[in-house]
Structure 1
C-alpha cells in the first residue's frame, strides 16, 4: 500500500505533560503491534493513512492537523530506537530528513542489509512525490522505516504554502516507482495534477527518455517558441496538435510553477545515456520546473501526454478515525488525563503478561472490527 492524505496547517505545539504521555503510549502500541503482526505487519499499517491517522488520534493528536504527521512519526521513530523491535526509522522533518542516508547506513549495518538499495529507494520516493507527481506541494518531511528482514515503508509530507495545506504520502515495499506507485490514496482531490507516474503515462515516459537525448539547446528553443505561441505569436510554419488549447495548457503548467529547463541536468541525461524513467528521476539537478518544461514541449510539439488525473481515491473522513483520550486542541473533546494514565497503566500491564493472557484483547478486536459510528450521532467538528 502507498497512500496520500491532505491536512490543514495548524499552529501551536504539544505541551510537555501531553508529550510525555504520548511517548509512553506510542511505545506500548508499537510493542503490541509487532507482537501481533510482526515487523512487516507494522510497516503495512504505517503505510495505511487511515491506520496511521487512527494511531495519531489515539495518542492525542488532532485528526486534521498537518502537525500530526511530524509529531506522530517523530514519536514512533524515537520509540523504535529506544526499543529493539526489529525495525528502526530514519529521517524526519526539515534538516532531519537530509540525515536519512547516514541513518539508513546505521540501520542497514545493524540488520546486515545493503544500505545503497534503501538510500536509492529513499531518493526515488522523494523524487516521485516532488517531481514526477506535481500537485503544488513542497516536501519537507521524510521518514524511512526499515525492518530486519529488509521490508520498508516511507511517510513523507509536502506543504502547499499558498493554501496552507499539507499532503501526506505513504509507501510500502513498492515494486515499481514509475507505474501507479500510490494505492488506496486518501486526500482532497485536485482538479488536475501533473502525474507522470500513472500507468497511462507509459508512452509519455518512453517518449521523454528519447526526447532528452536531444541537445538541450534545441529543447530550449522549442520551449521558448511554445511560450511565444501561447502569447499570440504565430510562426510561418506551425503544426498544432488536434484539440489543444495552448493558452489553457500553458496556464495549467504555470499554476504549478515556472517551466524552466536545467540544461545541466539534460546534459547529464545525454552523457549517462539514461535508459528508463527511474534513472531519469534520479538525475542530479532534475527538479519540478525542468519536468514541467519537458512535458509542455512533449504535449504541444509531439502530441504525447502525461496523465492529468490526481491519484487521490479516498477523501479523509474524521469518523473513520479513533479517539481514545481526546485531542490536543480539545477536539473532539479535551485530553482526559485520568483516562490517559489509566490506559497507559492497562497497556503496561498487558505488555508484561504472558502471550496467552493477551487473547482477551484479540477477542475485543474481533467484536469491534465491523462496528460503525451511528449516522444519527455524527456531528461536524
Structure 2
C-alpha cells in the first residue's frame, strides 16, 4: 500500500461544461506524464495521495471532497481507454468495482499478460483494507491500474457513514501485503485501529494461523465466554484471572462492529490447512466481524496481540495541493473558464512540440520545485 487520505462526504455533481474540460486536461496531463516518466512512473505518482490530490485540483475538483476520488479516478480511467499510453484501468465506484476481474482479463489480453495474479491482487488489497486493517470504513470504490510491463497500482476508497467521512487507499507494486505494506499514510489519525498487517503483528499472524486449525466450536465457545464477561458474568472455568481492563479491550473491539464468527470460513481454513496469512485473508466468508472475533480470542485467551496503532503519518494539508483553475464548489475560487481553456490550449501545443522544446518546460519546473506557499497568504477554505 502506498498512502491513505481521509475526506468528508460531499454531494453534488460535475456540470457538463466542466466535465468536458476535465476530460481534455486529464488526457493531456497523462500523455505528458507518460512521456516524461514512463508508465511505471505514472503509476507511482498515482499511488502518491499528494500527487493524486494535486492532479484532482488541477482539473477543477475540490481538495477536501470524497467525490474527488471517484471523479478524478473515473476521468483517468476514461482517458487511458481513449488513448493508448501503455496503461489501462479497471473497476470504479459501486457496481463498477465488481467488474474489475473481467476488465483485468481484457487488459491482460491486450498486453499479453496472465490475468490471474492481478485478479488475486485486486481481491487481496480489498480484503486488507476492509478486514486486516479496520478503521471503520467500508469500501465502495476500487480502481486497478495495469501497464503493459505488468506494473500495477490501486486506488480505492472506503466510507464511514456514521462520521460522514471517506478514506482513500493507494497501492503500488506491493512486495508484501501483510507486513507494513504502507510507504506513507496521509489522513486524519484515529485514536486506534485494528491493524494486523504490521511487523508488530508477526506473532499475531503466526498464532492466528495455528488457532484456526482448532475446531470452530472451541473457538466459538471461547468467544462467547469473553462476551459473557463483558456483560458482567463470571465464568466458572477460565484460562487466567480476569482483570477490569479486559472489559475495556472487549468494548474497543465492539466499537468497531459486531463480534461474530463465520464458522464456514473457519472450517475452510481447517480443511485447507491454511498456513499463510495472505491465503487466510482470501478465504471465502472471512469478513471484518470474524477477524475481530478471532483477534479478541487471541488477545484475552492466548495473550497475543495485533497492533492498535492507526498507521497514518501525514495529515492532509490543502496548501500542498495545486489550484490552477479554481474549484467545482467555488473553493478556493470559482472555475476560471478562460484560464482553463488557455491551459488546455497551451498543453495541446506542448504535446505536439519537439522533445528539445519540451526540455525548456522541464527546466522551468526545476526552478519552481522548492517554491512554498507564503504563510501570510494561507486562508482557511
| Normalised TM-score (structure 1) | 0.99
Is the CA contact (8 Å cut-off) linking 1:241 and 1:303 kept in structure 2? Answer: no
Which residue does 1:351 correspond to in 2? 351
Alignment gaps of 5+ in structure 1: none
The CA deviation at 1:242 is 8.3
- Distance in 1, Cα, partners of 2:276 & 2:284: 15
**Is 2:227 the counterpart of 1:204?**
no
Query: 1:87 and 2:63 equivalent?
Result: no
Report 1:313-324 matches (<5 A): 313-324=313-324
What are the ranges of 5 or more consecutive residues in structure 2 without an aligned counterpart? none
Q: Which runs of 4+ in 1 moved over 3 A?
A: 239-244
Partner of 2:63: 63
Change (3 A) 1:210 1:11: same
Correspondences of 1:226-305 after superposition (within 5 Å): 226-240=226-240, 245-305=245-305
Question: How much has 1:235 moved relative to structure 2?
Answer: 2.0
Q: 1:43 to 1:299 in 2, by over 3 A?
A: same
- Structure 1 residues 244 and 176, CA, compared in 2 at 3 Å: closer, same or farther? farther
Distance 1:126 1:213 in 2: 25
C-alpha contact 1:195 1:309 (8 A) present in aligned 2: yes
Change (3 A) 1:243 1:44: farther
- Structure 2 distance, partners of 1:361, 1:316, is 29
Deviates more, 1:256-265 or 1:246-255: 246-255
RMSD: 1.0
Offset of 1:244 from its aligned partner? 6.7
Displacement of 1:133: 0.2
Q: Distance in 2 between matches of 1:281 and 1:201?
A: 15
Alignment partner of 1:33 is 2:33: yes
How far 1:241 moved relative to its partner?
Answer: 7.0
Aligned to 1:306: 306
Name the residue aligned to 2:122: 122
* Alpha-carbon distance, 1:243 to partner: 6.7
After superposition, the C-alpha distances for 1:269-318 in whole angstroms (9 at most, x for unaligned) are 01111011000000000000000000000101000000000000000000
Instruction: Report the alpha carbon displacement of residue 116 of structure 1 after superposing the two structures with TM.
Output: 0.2
Cα offset for 1:210? 0.3
In 2, distance between residues paired with 1:324 and 1:236? Answer: 68
Higher mean Cα deviation, 228-237 or 259-268? 228-237
Name 2:375's counterpart in structure 1.
375
Please show how residues 327-338 of structure 1 align to structure 2 within 5 Å: 327-338=327-338
Three-state SS of the structure 1 residue aligned to 2:329 is coil
8 Å CA contact 1:241–1:301 kept in 2: the answer is no
- Normalised to the residue count of structure 2, the TM-score between the two structures is 0.99
1:149 matched residue in structure 2: 149
Contact 1:100–1:144 (CA under 8 A) maintained in structure 2: yes
Deviation, structure 1 residue 230: 1.5
Give distance in 1, aligned partners of 2:301 and 2:137.
28
